[in-house]
Amino acid sequence: MNILEVKNLKVWDVNSGKEIIQDSSFHLKSGSCLAIVGESGSGKSVTCRAIMRLNRSSLHQTGNILLKGENINLLSEKEMRKKRGRNLCMILQNGMSAFDPSCVVGVHLRETLAEHFNWSKNEMEVKMTGAMESVMLKNPTEIMNKYPHQLSGGMLQRIMIALAIVLEPDIIIADEPTTALDTISQFEVVEQFIKLRERMGCSMIFISHDLGVVRKIADDVMVMKDGEIIERGKTEAIFSEAQHEYTKYLVSTRLALSDNFKKVMGEGLLVAEG
């Protein structure tokens, strides 16, 4: 059963006429994790923002985006706002940009939850506190009274994951969630994503440069280059018997990097434990 079907998605810049996504079609199976990989500028993030309908206004899109059979590409902005967070939850690359810098984190969390649930302030706090503790954030009440700039990138990412736990969306879209983090934080955040999948059984689209992470978390992989899907398949098949030259190049270069990451991680964990 497919929870999401994207059919003939095209995205172009109305100012330049440049086509950014060229007739993409793919699906996400219910309960599975699809990784989208490719170098910067390949169209990964634009594809995911197109699903959320969050690309900048100069980017126009056509095609069908079916979420549980409903074509969300036809919804009004007001109807789409109801889907975001509750049905489709996006965890951004830079945690700082996801929060309003002018108010404490707890205000953002309460406003988001109030949009989707008729919970009292106390209910929201109880649910958020439990979720934050489950992603290894100590002193949740203290954290919720801090401004985003007072928290690290890794903490902000984990707050977004905790919010997703409370929202229980149908699909979580994670756009390069570990890029802005240091090595130890990367490891911790990836572990939280794996636990999130185990706990909620939710469907996930995971964008990442790091093929080591992709291999660990994804069931299926889709490779993009210059706005086109050039290869897709089961994760192990992509790693062991890639067909396209570009995929082979990505796998060889990125795995070399990720082997180095593992080595650093091993040392990092020894330091952390010691």
pLDDT higher than 50, residue 153? yes
pLDDT at position 96 is 80
Cβ burial of 221 (10 Å; 0-12, 13-18, 19+) is buried
**Domain span at residue 224?**
2-273
Cβ burial of 271 (10 Å; 0-12, 13-18, 19+) is exposed
Give the domain CATH number at 107: 3.40.50.300
pTM of the predicted protein model: 0.87
Distance CA 203, CA 28 (A): 7
pLDDT higher than 60, residue 267? no
pLDDT higher than 60, residue 261? no
pLDDT higher than 60, residue 269? no
Mean local confidence (pLDDT), 165-172: 92
At 101-145, the pLDDT tens digits run 999 999 999 999 998 999 999 999 999 999 999 888 999 999 999
What total of structural domains would you count in the chain?
1
At 20-46, the pLDDT tens digits run 999 999 999 999 999 999 988 899 999
pLDDT band at 260 (very low <50, low <70, confident <90, very high): low
pLDDT band at 56 (very low <50, low <70, confident <90, very high): very high
Q: Give me the chain's average pLDDT, please.
A: 89
